[in-house]
Structure 1
Amino acid sequence: MEALQHLRRDEIFHTIRLIYEDKGRVVDIRRTVFCTSVNLLGKMIFSTNVFDPHNPKSAWFKNSMCEMTKLSGTPNLADFFPFLRFLDPQSVSWEMAKHLKGVYDFVDLFIQKRFASSSEILERNDSKKDFLDVLLDFRSEDLTLVDIRALITDLFVAGIETTTTTIEWVMADFIRNPQKLYRVWQ
């Protein structure tokens, strides 16, 4: 955690700068925190920003992440009546699979890009390696590319949604209770 503190600091300062540049406009906290979280995780895992609002694949990734989160909280008849699972009456499983494939495809782009620049990877020393480099170093029968893709996807899904939701709730609480915000600043 200490070794990556500079990434967190830089991304937070970048976000503050973007908010300050939009001075006078309404800030969409959820979108801002989402983008910050995605890019911070992207820098830790892939050594690069992941979310670019002008890139259609990034937009698809963001949409897929949001939809997967929404679907995971959707009551599903097949969960209450397992004999309906094969019918998928609400298409929850089908929708989840569609969005998961989109996220997998997005993560695969970064993995393929890393393999394309494999000579550069060999020249990196341990202090320059990111999480993907470390995972690829440990690739074996027990840790396949499919496992690596799933692990990275889990990190994005868990890290982005929990962070975004938590900060959104904290900000809402500060707005409702300004005295709490004042105490935090002291």
Structure 2
Amino acid sequence: MDFIPFMFLLCILLWTCFHVLTSISRPRRKIAKLPPGPRPFPIIGNILQLGQNPHQSLAKLSKIYGPLMHLKLGTIDTIVVSTPEHAFKNTIMFYPAGPTWPRPTFTATTRRLWCGPRWATGGVSFGKYAKTRLDGSQGLRREKLKKAKDHVRECCDSGRVLDIADVAFTTLLNLISASFFSVDFGRFGSDSSQDFKGIVHGLLKVLGTPNLADYFPFLKRVDPQGLKRKSELYVGKLIRIFDDIIDQRLKGVSTDYESRDDLLEALLDISRKNESELTRNDIIHLLMDLFVAGIDTTATTVEWAMTELIRNPKKMAKARIELQTIIGQTRQVEESDISKLPYLQIRIERDF
């Protein structure tokens, strides 16, 4: 408990010395016109105003300063965009604030995880595959949702505690892993520290941890919280897993599924035709990028949606009545049913 205050004071002291020494010789630059925002404190800026629940603090601040708001987080100027309209209107670089602390940069993982030099190559072939695969993978999504539904029913019948976050995460993990590699990576209720789920959980936890080096860039080399070291450990494990899967695929080792019509096969096909267009290293970085981003965003949205429904029993009752009326008691919800559920869509649009 004493580590964070100590490191915070140390950062203030080091930054003060650094700022004084560099400002003497640094030429004055013209201050850019920035959106309105709360007045920052010296050195630390607006960090303290984020509080224990930054997403709620930012929502309250946006009501005062508007949908475009400027915050000073340590030495970093940050623009918070609170509405989709302003996100599309303004050609600025920003990072949306979610349930975790807003992160101006991903110091810990930028080099190894999100910097595949040609991750977007093979666009035409990959784009055609993505559209075809999305249209044809509805059965796969239906299968994963049925497994999630069966697990929920099993927990209810046996009286076991249901972990919504684990159900959402495992369902998304298996959906993406089946789409990418034709195998399931997770199991409901498994010990996450012993399998692939634990690696992804650990990496996401590192990404969601407030990093002093993000707000005081001169600390990047020091890595005071050890986040860079931890992230490299998790990323290294992911690289080894993906490397092993690619080796098995190239050697023709069979998987749990007969079909090989998955993302990995499409990427390997592009690479076989022209390795300079898409190398093995490019494939691994692309897979990691899609894997981590795809699981985190959707699973978190589901978890927060269920949280809001639990907090509002009347709204949950209305949503349940709509589902029972439109879908019925026995039939599973299909993707084509979404447009027939207006109340559920309204709640999602208003609350998220």
Q: TM-score normalized by structure 2?
A: 0.47
- Equivalent residues in 2 for 1:1-186 (5 A)? 1-22=134-155, 23=157, 24-52=159-187, 59-117=194-252, 129-139=261-271, 140-185=275-320, 186=322
Report 1 or 2 for greater relative contact order, CA contacts < 8 Å, sequence distance ≥ 6: 1
Q: Does the C-alpha gap of structure 1 residues 84 and 69 become closer, same or farther in structure 2, counting only changes over 3 Å?
A: same
More helix by share: 1
Count how many residue pairs are aligned between Structure 1 and Structure 2. Answer: 180
Instruction: Say whether the 8 Å CA contact 2:151–2:188 is kept in structure 1.
Output: no
Deviates more, 1:56-65 or 1:11-20: 56-65
Return the offset for 1:58: 8.3
Instruction: Say whether the 8 Å CA contact 1:60–1:102 is kept in structure 2.
Output: no
Deviates more, 1:152-161 or 1:82-91: 82-91
Return the offset for 1:4: 0.4
How many angstroms apart in 2 are the aligned matches of 1:57 and 1:171? 22
- Runs of 4+ with >4 A deviation: 52-58
Identity of aligned residues (%): 37
Return the offset for 1:53: 7.0
Q: Does the C-alpha gap of structure 1 residues 57 and 101 become closer, same or farther in structure 2, counting only changes over 3 Å?
A: farther
SS of the residue 1:138 aligns to: helix
Instruction: Say whether the 8 Å CA contact 1:12–1:36 is kept in structure 2.
Output: yes
How many angstroms apart in 2 are the aligned matches of 1:58 and 1:152? 22
SS of the residue 1:87 aligns to: coil
Q: Does the C-alpha gap of structure 1 residues 83 and 155 become closer, same or farther in structure 2, counting only changes over 3 Å?
A: same
Greater gyration radius: 2
Q: TM-score normalized by structure 1?
A: 0.86
Q: Does the C-alpha gap of structure 1 residues 58 and 110 become closer, same or farther in structure 2, counting only changes over 3 Å?
A: farther
The CA RMSD over aligned residues, in Å, is 2.5
Runs (5+) with no aligned partner, structure 2:
1-133, 323-352
SS of the residue 2:137 aligns to: helix
Offset from partner CA, 1:114-143 (integer Å, 9 cap, x none) = 11107x8xxx9xx95211000001112131
How many angstroms apart in 2 are the aligned matches of 1:38 and 1:78? 30
